[in-house]
Amino acid sequence: MSLLVTGTIGIDSVESPHGKAVDVAGGSALYFAYAASLLGPVRLVGVVGEDFPSQHVDMLRQRPIDLAGLETRKGSKTFRWQGKYTPDMNDRETLGTQLNVIAEAPPKIPEGFRDSQFVFLANTHPAIQRQFIDELSGPKMIVCDTMDLWINNFRDDLVKTLSCVNGVVLNDAEARLLTGRSHLIAAARSVLELGPDFVIVKKGEHGSILCTADAVFLVPGFPTLEVKDPTGAGDSFAGGMMAYLAQRDRTDVQAIQYAIAVGTCVASIAIEGFSLDSLKSADRDTVMSRMARLRASTHFDVG
């Protein structure tokens, strides 16, 4: 089944205790698309400026990523982000952000993409996320991402968007901020009351929680020993998860549970290198090998 992602495409400069990466490919939609492409084809919708390096586009073309929705806007510059991670890699400082083209009108979903059945609305203004929803024709599953900026400043818009989607992915701090609940399962259940069928709360290295009206499911983090660059981990997680669901054309809770584990393994690959470096050398077998290791590390029998 067809998988579509919309969101930012950018140029990042990142510093961590493991080194620096300057003017590398970044952005929520780009990470999602590249991660998803390890498991199957994906349609990418986003906008860049004339300064977006051609080698980044060539890199995307080498994967099963349909770029018919990639707009290069004349006279505009690409979104840029610069950040530095703390020594423990659990936090980062934003050193600079240039919105550039993403402060302009959003891209349009091509006519040939509007029949997409699985859709991920990567992090952007919730009103723009709803505009994208209006351009679609009957998808089976829509999942969105969000962040503290939209929660703090555009809460009403975000609540409207949550009533239009099947699922939402957010981190633990965002879940607490949105609901005012400190207990994560209670927070997730409060988000469910806003409209989505399921809520996934990411806890970084500690894994994630899936909540539905009837179930709670916990997935631990994959035991990655070396983290070089956590940028894009959440989007890579979502890419692996949604690609699994789209490939199997399933929206049931059991499939979502397994898909979260797949996303966890994909994210563990992404953080082992700067930008997309580790994902470039991975494939489906890499992901499935980690899935076997993750399952082995969480399985136990009564002694």
- Asked whether residue 212 carries a pLDDT value surpassing 90, the answer given is yes
Structure-token pair, residue 116 = 């997409």
Mean pLDDT of all residues in 198-227:
93
Amino acid at 7: G
Q: Residue 166 sits in a domain of what CATH number?
A: 3.40.1190.20
- Asked whether residue 163 carries a pLDDT value surpassing 90, the answer given is yes
pLDDT band of residue 204 (cuts 50, 70, 90) is confident
- Asked whether residue 14 carries a pLDDT value surpassing 80, the answer given is yes
Domain contains 303: no
Q: Considering its fold, how many domains does the chain have in total? A: 1
Domain contains 129: yes
What are the pLDDT digits (tens) for 61-73? 999 999 999 999 9
Looking only at the bridges linking them, the beta strands covering 65-73 and 42-49 are parallel
CA-to-CA separations, 79 to 27, 75, 189, in angstroms, rounded:
8, 13, 34
Contact 29, 43 (CB under 8 A): no
- Asked whether residue 298 carries a pLDDT value surpassing 90, the answer given is no
- Predicted pLDDT at 149: 87
Residue carrying the six token digits 């890699």: 89
- Asked whether residue 237 carries a pLDDT value surpassing 90, the answer given is yes
Contact 265, 291 (CB under 8 A): yes
Question: 209: domain range?
Answer: 3-298
- Asked whether residue 211 carries a pLDDT value surpassing 80, the answer given is yes
